[in-house]
């Protein structure tokens, strides 16, 4: 800065002016329904109430509180892990991308919290923007099934999950091949104790509520008399959709 006095003498001085960033606008996390089914993949979006004059980096952090049992490690962002980042360009109100979320297979509450950075300066509003996502308990889901013949009968192997972390019964309905007369066409198994042990074990923790069940059957007569098996599983919430598999 230059100044001149009444005698025409010129002088100069250095003045430092600091221009601060304005207060960050209100931030909304959206795109995810308040209630979600297990094993779904919604996407989190970030929007600002007003444009901000600088580029904003939005750091998202996820936490999970299960209704029962240990954490479910499969509940995370689709990019892997429980942190994600969305960039909002300067003078814009929306993020360049969204953050896909994997809701896992365990009932509970997912919470996502946002931190806003303009460069290295933390401009996060108080309280920090957050979003709560409820994963409801639901009937069991069978994701795959096989039925394989052996010398004494056949074995059914099925994979699935039960978000309530319990499973009470399995119902196996048999269909006979042409001309076969099945004396037993349905068997129900009491699986509550078996699954209670599984879900309470440390071995189950990495898998959320997922399981693999092997159920052998002994056939009196010819194993080839049984053509297919239809399986329905029941937990404390309800029954799975029936799934049918042909014996191999």
pLDDT values of the chain reduced to their tens digit, one per residue, 248 residues? 555 656 666 666 665 645 567 778 899 999 999 999 999 999 999 999 999 999 999 999 999 999 999 999 999 999 999 999 999 999 999 999 999 999 999 999 999 999 999 999 999 999 999 999 999 999 999 999 999 998 889 999 999 999 999 999 999 999 887 777 777 788 999 999 999 999 999 999 999 999 999 999 988 877 788 889 999 999 999 999 999 999 98
DSSP code for 6: T
On whether the 141-246 domain is CATH 2.60.40, my answer is: yes
- Mention every residue, 6+ apart, whose C-beta is less than 8 A from residue 4: 10, 11
CA distances from residue 216 to 64, 111, 157, 199 in whole angstroms, order as listed: 37, 42, 8, 22
Specify the pLDDT at position 24. Answer: 80
Q: What CATH architecture does domain 27-135 belong to? A: Sandwich (2.60)
What's residue 78's pLDDT? 93
The pLDDT of residue 174 = 92
3-class SS of residue 200? helix
Backbone torsions φ then ψ of 246, nearest 5 degrees: -80, 145
What is the distance of C-alpha 187 from the center of its chain? 34
Angle subtended at Cα 130 by Cα 126 and Cα 135, rounded to the nearest 5 degrees = 160
pLDDT value, residue 222: 76
Tokens of 57: 């980096």
Task: Determine the pLDDT at residue 61.
Answer: 98
Domain ranges of the chain: 27-135, 141-246
Tokens of 222: 């010819």
Q: Which residue has 């909304």 as its token pair? A: 28
pLDDT at position 178 is 75
> Pairing relation of β-strands 186-190 and 243-246?
unpaired
**Spatial separation of the C-alpha atoms in residues 215 and 229, rounded to whole Å:** 12
On whether the pTM is more than 0.75, the answer is yes
Residue that is written with structure tokens 């950075």 in the block: 117
DSSP annotation of 119: T
Cα–Cα separations (whole angstroms), residue 76 to 47, 90, 103, 159, 227: 21, 28, 7, 22, 41
Give pLDDT, residue 182: 74
| 125 vs 116: CA distance, rounded Å | 8
């Amino acid at each position: 800065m230059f100044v001149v006095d009444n005698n025409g003498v010129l002088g100069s001085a250095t003045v430092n002016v600091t221009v601060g960033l304005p207060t960050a606008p209100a931030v909304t996390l959206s795109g995810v329904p308040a209630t979600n089914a297990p094993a779904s993949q919604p996407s989190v979006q970030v929007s600002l109430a007003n444009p901000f004059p600088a580029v904003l980096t939005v750091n998202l952090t996820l936490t999970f509180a299960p209704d029962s049992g240990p954490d479910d490690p499969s509940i995370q962002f689709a990019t892997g892990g429980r942190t994600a980042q969305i960039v909002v360009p300067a003078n814009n109100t929306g993020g360049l991308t969204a953050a896909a979320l994997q809701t896992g297979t365990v009932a509970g509450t997912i919470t996502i919290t946002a931190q806003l950075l303009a460069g290295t300066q933390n401009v996060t509003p108080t309280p920090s923007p957050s979003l709560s996502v409820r994963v409801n308990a639901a009937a069991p889901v069978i994701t795959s099934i096989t039925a394989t013949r052996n010398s004494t009968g056949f074995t059914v192997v099925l994979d699935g999950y039960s978000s309530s972390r319990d499973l009470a019964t399995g119902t196996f309905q048999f269909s006979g091949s042409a001309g076969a007369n099945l004396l037993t066409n349905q068997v129900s198994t009491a699986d509550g104790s078996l699954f209670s042990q599984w879900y309470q074990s440390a071995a189950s923790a990495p898998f959320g509520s997922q399981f693999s069940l092997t159920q052998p059957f002994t056939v009196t007569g010819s194993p080839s008399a049984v053509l297919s098996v239809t399986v329905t599983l029941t937990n404390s919430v309800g029954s799975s959709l029936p799934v049918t598999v042909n014996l191999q």
